[in-house]
Amino acid sequence: MSPLPSRPSRAERFYLAELAGEAERYEDVVAQIKDMMGSYNARLTIEERNLLCVAYKNMTNNLRNSWRIVDTLEQMQRIRDGDKRHLELTRIQRGRIETDLTNLCKEIVSLLEQKLIPAAKRGEESVFYSKMKGDYYRYLAEFSQTEDRDKYADSSLNAYKLAYKHALATLEPVHPTRLGLALNFSVFYHDVRKSPERACHLAKSAFDDAVMSLDTSDPDVGQNLRDSLMILQLLKDDLVLWATEMQDGD
């Protein structure tokens, strides 16, 4: 008789999560990481954290893309004044996607609030998770059609503000986590608050501060320089785009 299997070690659970990620079974990735947190502790390594984030990002991106497609089709049907039954069915489908996306975003936020943020170490880890919380509340605000939109937008703003305040106090201006936060926070102001002026101000401030400190000799900055340069390019692209929008509006 073969012996009963022992409880998988943390390393084995991580291997299973990696395997699920390679197979694009992102729900299994999340399940393995959650089991790992329950069996051991809620503080994740960078590798574990990245795997969890990629899994949630892929799941939410698929739903967000589906929502955009169906929402666009619904708007086109309204403009064309097409078949009312088709419009109703399209609206129902959009509602189903919204329900799935809402549940998934709330699941992530709950995991962050109850497990990941309380266990996070001060500094980059804390900033990363607070930024992530702001991101998923922003997603909820982007597609919500009800009075919940303002509630989600306020929650996103509060999470971003807390993360940014902490980032300014603990991270170098060129640190990729601080720059990524500035990028997403500025997108929040542009897309959710509809304030390109504030978005540009935040993005430009982060961009200028980082450029001024690019010559630092900090070894951690050197290791992360490639990520930082990529985010700086994204900030620059957004600044150019939003400046053009404001000029066109004027």
pLDDT digits (tens, 9 = 90+) for 82-130: 778 888 999 999 999 999 999 999 999 999 999 999 999 999 999 999 9
Residue 115 has a pLDDT of 95
- Residues of the chain predicted below pLDDT 70: 1-5, 215-223, 249-250
24: left (phi over 0), alpha (psi -120 to 50) or beta: left
Domain ranges of the chain: 8-119, 122-250
CATH class of the structural domain 122-250: mainly alpha
Q: How far apart are CA 33 and CA 48, in angstroms?
A: 7
Please give the CATH number for the structural domain made up of 8-119.
1.20.190.20
Q: How far apart are CA 20 and CA 34, in angstroms?
A: 14
The yes-or-no answer to whether 8-119 and 122-250 have a common fold is yes
Residue 218 has a pLDDT of 56
| DSSP characters over 115-167 | IIHHHPPTTHHHHHHHHHHHHHHHHHHHH--STHHHHHHHHHHHHHHHHHHHH
- pTM for this model (two decimals): 0.89
Q: How far apart are CA 199 and CA 232, in angstroms?
A: 15
Residue 146 has a pLDDT of 74
